[in-house]
């Protein structure tokens, strides 16, 4: 039984509310205009990423967002797990694991050969989840950004 459904434009307000919560938890500074600009294209068919709603017994309880690119080093299409959010009362029940396993299987079928993610050094629960799914730290590399 699936715990995911593709997000629709009608999910926008709920997603924006969850992103506020997620960004506050992660210490990410963003305003409403920024969040709207980032999420709206993904709900309207952008090829750069997608949003899936995590459900539990028909109730929406979170989301997972993947963004897409290409890797020369790994030889093909890649995905970045950009955000994973579960309502606080739903955490620790295995839903994140189930949702990610489901999404990873679908991405593999779609031809994605590499999934990367960024995780806070202090978020041990998230690190454990990702390790349990087979993610490994690339010891030689650090994640760097240049905001334009």
Q: Whose structure tokens read 């390790």?
A: 131
Asked if the structure places residue 148 within a domain, the reply is: no
Whether 62 and 90 have beta carbons less than 8 Å apart is answered as yes
How many domains is the chain partitioned into structurally? Answer: 1
Render pLDDT for 50-78 as a digit per residue (tens, 0 to 9): 999 999 999 999 999 999 999 999 999 99
- Residue 26's domain comprises 4-132
- pLDDT of residue 1 exceeding 80: no
Task: Give the global pTM.
Answer: 0.93
Helix (H) or strand (E) holding 4: strand 4-6
User: 3-state SS of 19-68?
Assistant: HHHHHHHHCCCCCHHHHHHHHHHHHCCCCCEEEEEEEECCEEEEEEEEEE
Q: Residue 114 is part of a domain; what is its CATH number?
A: 3.40.630.30
Asked if the structure places residue 77 within a domain, the reply is: yes
Contact residues for 60 (Cβ-Cβ < 8 A; gap 6+): 11, 14, 53, 54
In terms of Cβ atoms closer than 10 Å to its own Cβ (0-12, 13-18, 19+), residue 15 is: buried
Provide the token pair at 10: 């009608």
Render pLDDT for 22-59 as a digit per residue (tens, 0 to 9): 999 989 999 999 999 999 999 999 999 999 999 999 99
Asked if the structure places residue 45 within a domain, the reply is: yes
Render pLDDT for 93-120 as a digit per residue (tens, 0 to 9): 999 999 999 999 999 999 999 999 999 8
Q: Whose structure tokens read 């990610």?
A: 100
């Amino acid at each position: 039984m699936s715990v995911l459904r593709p997000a629709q434009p009608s999910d926008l307000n709920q997603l924006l509310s969850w992103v506020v919560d997620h960004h506050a938890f992660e210490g990410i500074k963003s305003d409403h205009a920024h969040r709207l600009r980032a999420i709206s294209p993904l709900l309207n068919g952008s090829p750069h990423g997608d949003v899936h709603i995590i459900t539990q017994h028909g109730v929406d309880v979170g989301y997972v967002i993947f963004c897409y690119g290409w890797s020369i080093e790994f030889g093909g299409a890649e995905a970045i797990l950009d955000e994973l959010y579960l309502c606080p009362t739903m955490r620790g029940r295995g839903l994140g694991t189930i949702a990610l396993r489901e999404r990873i299987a679908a991405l593999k079928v779609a031809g994605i050969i590499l999934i990367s993610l960024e995780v806070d050094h202090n978020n041990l629960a998230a690190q454990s989840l990702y390790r349990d799914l087979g993610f490994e730290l690339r010891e030689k590399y650090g994640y760097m950004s240049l905001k334009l």
